[in-house]
Structure 1
Amino acid sequence: MAGWIGWSCFLAILFLASSTIASSEGPFIVAHKKVKLTRLKSGSERVSVSVDIYNQGYATAYDVTLNDGGWTLDIFDIVSGNTSTSWERLESGTLLSHSFELEAKTKTMFYGAPAVITFRVPTKAALQEAYSTPILPLDILSDRPPEKKFEWAKKLLVKYGPLISVVSTVVLFVYLVATPSKSSGAKGSKKKR
């Protein structure tokens, strides 16, 4: 019985290793989606979106298509670029980037979906799919406190923080050395009696 369990474990490990090796021979698409909000003086907000697509696999991906269609037209207007694009191929170890800009029309909390990347592998008939990393919820046109309120204090702390730390440590050391401790003073007063 123990021999049968050992052989079945060995075969299961061999099967997993062979399937991992077989899958690593194809393309492996990793996509990262980044979003940046910029408040404009006109009271509107600009949303800059970029998607980086990287092929970490060992084979070329063909007919690569990026679709980031989760941006509803009720909330956003496209300012520049497109929310979808395509490339003929993505070689192993290479990176493709796509970016576009939107302008927010409505004050809301927006939960965006990951971008969808489809690609073709010559050894498979069906299109393959990959998803980008999700984005954090966007608080569009929210009331934010002014960012420069404590900017001067931050600059002073960055510039003089280490110096203040060293001077404080030296002053504390001199104070502790120069000030007699209460325990030695108490011992001296007991000896005088």
Structure 2
Amino acid sequence: MADLIFKSLVALALLLCLSLADASSDVPFILAHKKATLNRLKSGAERVSVTIDIYNQGTSTAYDVSLTDDSWPNEAFNVVSGSMSKTWERLDAGGILSHTFELEATQKGVYSGEPAVIKFRVPTKASLQEAYSTPILPLDVLADRPPEKKLDWKLLAKYGSLISVITIVVLFVYLVATPSKSSAKSNKKRR
């Protein structure tokens, strides 16, 4: 067990050294974060809003940046707005690009999206470079959920003022009935 831990620490240190050596060169370093949120509509349908943020943490510009997210099966989702792919001319060093699209679920089930693929060109290399986004956690689409208990604004509007008055009266009675500490000290000094 200790040997396995030691080997993994050595591998991690080696990867860290290689990444530091590569980070010092003049290249783009692309990071991408993919997130998805479920939105239940009143009609019973459910939509998935997917946002992918692309960051260039490197020291040079990435050119011909393209994003493709084809991890959503066509038989389970329909595109409502946007598209699952997008291209940009460039992503400057320290820059951020964002892409959002919305899907409507047609089938019930648990879906976990795979990472989106980002391809970009570096002027010093002939071939396209690839980067991957973070994967998303599994989504339970069209699941039977108990209704959320929300604050009933009608009751609050009807009884809110009454509760406020009762609270103020109780607080006033408490303050009048409770002796203050300073008067208790002065009574002890007089005796």
Whether the TM-score (by the shorter chain) exceeds 0.5 is yes
Distance change in 2, residues 1:105/1:22 (3 Å):
closer
User: Partner of 1:99 in structure 2?
Assistant: 100
Distance change in 2, residues 1:91/1:80 (3 Å):
same
User: Partner of 1:31 in structure 2?
Assistant: 32
What code does the residue aligned with 1:50 have?
Answer: T
Whether 1:139 and 2:140 are equivalent positions in the alignment is: yes
User: Partner of 1:87 in structure 2?
Assistant: 88
User: Partner of 1:20 in structure 2?
Assistant: 20
Q: What's the secondary structure of 2:72's corresponding residue?
A: coil
Distance change in 2, residues 1:132/1:22 (3 Å):
closer
Q: What's the secondary structure of 1:109's corresponding residue?
A: strand
The structural deviation recorded for 1:72 is 0.8
Q: What's the secondary structure of 1:36's corresponding residue?
A: strand
The structural deviation recorded for 1:22 is 4.4
Instruction: State the identity %.
Output: 62
Q: What's the secondary structure of 1:102's corresponding residue?
A: strand
CA distance in 2, matches of 1:142, 1:80: 23
User: Partner of 1:69 in structure 2?
Assistant: 70
CA distance in 2, matches of 1:28, 1:128: 10
Aligned alpha-carbon RMSD (Å): 2.9
In the alignment, structure 1 segments of 5+ residues that lack a partner are: 1-12, 153-193
For residues 14-50 of structure 1, what are the alpha-carbon distances to aligned partners after superposition, in whole Å with 9 as ceiling and x for unaligned? xx57x73444321000101111100111111011011
CA distance in 2, matches of 1:52, 1:95: 7
In the alignment, structure 2 segments of 5+ residues that lack a partner are: 1-13, 153-191
What code does the residue aligned with 1:34 have?
Answer: K
The structural deviation recorded for 1:126 is 1.5
Matches within 5 A, 1:91-170: 91-147=92-148, 149=149, 151=151
Query: What TM-score, normalized by structure 1, do the two folds share?
Result: 0.67
For residues 88-119 of structure 1, what are the alpha-carbon distances to aligned partners after superposition, in whole Å with 9 as ceiling and x for unaligned? 10000010000000000000111111111000
User: Partner of 1:183 in structure 2?
Assistant: none
Q: What's the secondary structure of 2:58's corresponding residue?
A: coil
What code does the residue aligned with 1:135 have?
Answer: I
What code does the residue aligned with 1:20 have?
Answer: L
CA distance in 2, matches of 1:28, 1:105: 37
What code does the residue aligned with 1:98 have?
Answer: H
Whether 1:59 and 2:87 are equivalent positions in the alignment is: no
The structural deviation recorded for 1:64 is 0.3
- The number of equivalent residue pairs is 147
Matches within 5 A, 1:180-191: none
